[in-house]
Amino acid sequence: MVPDQENWKRKYTELTLEVERKQQSEERYHEQLRSLVDHLSLGMNGISGSLDTELTQLGEVLKEQNRKRIPSILRQIKKEVGQLDMERQSSRELLIRILHRWTQQLRRANPAPSVANLIGSIDTRVPEATEHLYALAELISELIEIQAGMLGNGAMPESDQDFELNSSQDSDIETLGASMAAELLQMIELLQIPAEGVEQARGLVLEIEQGITLERLPAILSSLVQLVRLANGNTQEDFENYLLTLNSQLSFVQQFLEESRNDELSAVQTHSQLDSQVRRDVRNIHRSVKESEDLKTLKQSVSQQLASIVRAMDSYRQQEQERETRLNRRYDDLLTKVEQMELETSKVKARMQEEQLRARTDPLTGLPNRTSYDHHLSSEHERWQRYGTQFSLAVGDIDFFKKINDHLGHLAGDRVLRLVAKVLKHNLRSNDFIARYGGEEFVILFPSTGAEEALQATEKLRQAIADSPFNFKGERVEVTLSFGVAEIRDADDPEALFNRADQALYLAKQQGRNQTQVGGKG
């Protein structure tokens, strides 16, 4: 009887240790699951505020092991992911409007019925082409052929007479070219161009800004088609695939949690049954010892009860082994998913960083835009409030810019903006910040700089612009800037600082332009 008791105690101790190992294994599984959710949160960060909140809540719930809230959070996350897919339609609608305007301009350039019918058939395919980017390049190629035929640089299926442009219509062709250039530049801005196509896109933008001629138009449109093909299936398709993968990962997480919960409930139930049976058999042994008067009968009864305990423990051990096998299999699957998500997250994060940079960059000049300026100004203002570090702000505006646009055209005006931005950036100090505020207005932050030093730095910029050899068709074009400068002072908020610099700019305009004025301290 004593050996049986020792055997029972040993097996009971082994099972207790095994339960502890299972609990430790469960903790590792939950840790890997939290890691997966952390990577999902990292990859999707910044795409949607509500989605960020839901993913953060999912991470907290997993940390607290509050399984009751998980299904509702997962349903909300799937809803948010679906909402993101709808937002891409806004960009598509803008592209549709651009292409429709292009076809309308081609109709106005040559209203011949045969041309109108051909363009009309293309126009009806615009929505489908923008929905499936692989069809967009083909549609633009057809528009290129029509355009080239109208300008005498390509073959057309209709007669040449239908597309002939009179030499007396040179002014109409020039107007059409300027309008086309504006539309093409806007289309390029809409394209999600990968890194390998950025230089080609910049070169194309510069070429378009120089003006579209009949000879260069086919080559320009051909380059545009190449950019469309580069962008085809790039950012949008990658992000759509990532969203689909995310849905799959979320489904897997939900399945993992449900199966783990069911296994845990089953393990608790099995452990409870084992405990009840062991206690029942021990009570029976105790009763048999107390009531038995025959040693042989007692031995037989105790042996039966101990055998029952051993069978119960063997059954429990087998169930635990099967449960551990299932957990290990799910654990391996989870590790694979985590590795996949780490790779996908790194790609999406890199793409999101590119998109965030695009969102803070002015597409025409390449300078930071007003959003980026607001962020930097807020940071400088906070630093000044905390540490008392002075800084100054300059607001600059191109003199008589409307005349440049009216007399030389908007393409020349855009070129002026780009060149002014380039000269200003080249002559800035290394720690200064410049942005295009809007229109022909620029803002410059001078960190750790007082008004007098900022005045000197601004004068250097103003003189650099005045000395630059702007010209149009070989004729000198005078381009100058007026500036207003203001230094941060007590009780200033960002708006008050800007207003004082803007008032100084207004004073510089009133006093003859092409000069810098410093905002008053009062």
CATH at 485? 3.30.70.270
Furthest C-alpha separation in the chain:
131
CA nearest to 27, candidates 301, 344, 260, 361: 260
**Amino acid at position 207, single letter:** E
**Pairing verdict, β 475-476 and 471-472:** antiparallel
The residue segments making up the domain with residue 451 are 370-518
Specify the pLDDT at position 154: 39
pLDDT digits (tens, 9 = 90+) for 49-67: 676 777 777 777 777 777 7
Spatial separation of the C-alpha atoms in residues 476 and 471, rounded to whole Å? 4
Q: Which residue has the higher pLDDT, 168 or 307?
A: 307
Q: 164 pLDDT band (50/70/90 cuts)?
A: very low
Q: Which residue has the higher pLDDT, 241 or 424?
A: 424
Specify the pLDDT at position 171: 46
Tokens of 314: 């063997």
- Find the mean pLDDT for residues 182-194: 70
- Checking 134-143 for CB contacts under 8 A at 24+ apart, the result is 134/232, 134/233, 136/228, 136/232, 137/225, 137/228, 137/229, 137/232, 139/99, 140/221, 140/224, 140/225, 140/228, 141/225, 143/102, 143/103, 143/106, 143/221
Q: 169 pLDDT band (50/70/90 cuts)?
A: very low
pLDDT digits (tens, 9 = 90+) for 71-88: 777 777 777 666 666 666
475, β-bridge pairs: 472
pLDDT digits (tens, 9 = 90+) for 230-250: 765 455 555 556 666 666 666
Spatial separation of the C-alpha atoms in residues 5 and 310, rounded to whole Å? 10
Q: Is residue 177 part of a domain?
A: yes
- Find the mean pLDDT for residues 197-203: 79
- Give the number of other CB atoms < 10 A from CB of residue 159: 10
pLDDT digits (tens, 9 = 90+) for 245-292: 666 666 666 666 677 667 777 767 777 776 777 777 777 777 766 666
Number of compact structural domains in the chain: 2
- Find the mean pLDDT for residues 146-175: 46
Cβ neighbours for 393, distance < 8 A, ≥ 6 positions apart: 377, 443, 444, 445, 446, 454, 485, 486, 488, 497, 498, 501
- Find the mean pLDDT for residues 139-151: 74
**Pairing verdict, β 441-447 and 391-398:** antiparallel
Q: Is residue 349 part of a domain?
A: no
pLDDT digits (tens, 9 = 90+) for 477-509: 899 999 999 999 988 899 999 999 999 999 999
Q: Is residue 180 part of a domain?
A: yes
Specify the pLDDT at position 436: 93
Q: What is the reported pTM?
A: 0.44
Q: How far is CA 520 from CA 269, 385, 517, in A?
A: 80, 21, 9
Q: Is residue 174 part of a domain?
A: yes
Q: What are phi and psi of 493, to 5 degrees?
A: -105, 170
Q: Is residue 389 part of a domain?
A: yes
Backbone torsion region of residue 473, taken as left when φ is above 0, otherwise alpha when ψ lies between -120 and 50, otherwise beta? left
Q: Which residue has the higher pLDDT, 123 or 167?
A: 123
Specify the pLDDT at position 376: 92
**Which helix (DSSP H) or strand (DSSP E) does residue 343 occupy?**
helix 295-359
Q: Which of 196, 218, 235 corresponds to the end of one domain?
A: 235
- Checking 181-185 for CB contacts under 8 A at 24+ apart, the result is 181/208, 181/209, 181/211, 181/212, 181/411, 182/410, 182/411, 183/98, 183/101, 183/102, 183/105, 184/208, 184/220, 184/221, 184/224, 185/209, 185/414
Q: Which of 173, 202, 235 corresponds to the end of one domain?
A: 235
Q: Is residue 215 part of a domain?
A: yes
CA nearest to 284, candidates 293, 273, 292: 292
Q: 134 pLDDT band (50/70/90 cuts)?
A: low
Q: Which of 235, 263, 291 corresponds to the end of one domain?
A: 235
How much of the chain exceeds pLDDT 90, in percent? 20
Listed ranges 23-32, 150-159, 493-502; the one with the highest mean pLDDT: 493-502
Cβ neighbours for 139, distance < 8 A, ≥ 6 positions apart: 99, 122, 125, 126, 129
| DSSP for residue 432 | -
Q: 139 pLDDT band (50/70/90 cuts)?
A: confident
Listed ranges 148-157, 246-255, 323-332; the one with the highest mean pLDDT: 323-332
Q: Is residue 417 part of a domain?
A: yes
pLDDT digits (tens, 9 = 90+) for 381-398: 999 998 888 999 999 999
Q: What are phi and psi of 278, to 5 degrees?
A: -60, -45
Specify the pLDDT at position 78: 72
- Find the mean pLDDT for residues 331-341: 71
Q: Is residue 208 part of a domain?
A: yes
Residue 433 pLDDT > 90, yes or no? yes
Catalytic residue positions? 440
Residue 460 pLDDT > 90, yes or no? yes
Specify the pLDDT at position 246: 60
Burial of residue 477 (CB within 10 Å: 0-12, 13-18, 19+) is: middle
Listed ranges 39-43, 113-117, 142-146; the one with the highest mean pLDDT: 142-146
3-state helix, strand, coil in the chain (%, to 5): 75, 5, 15
Burial of residue 377 (CB within 10 Å: 0-12, 13-18, 19+) is: buried
> What average pLDDT does the chain have?
76
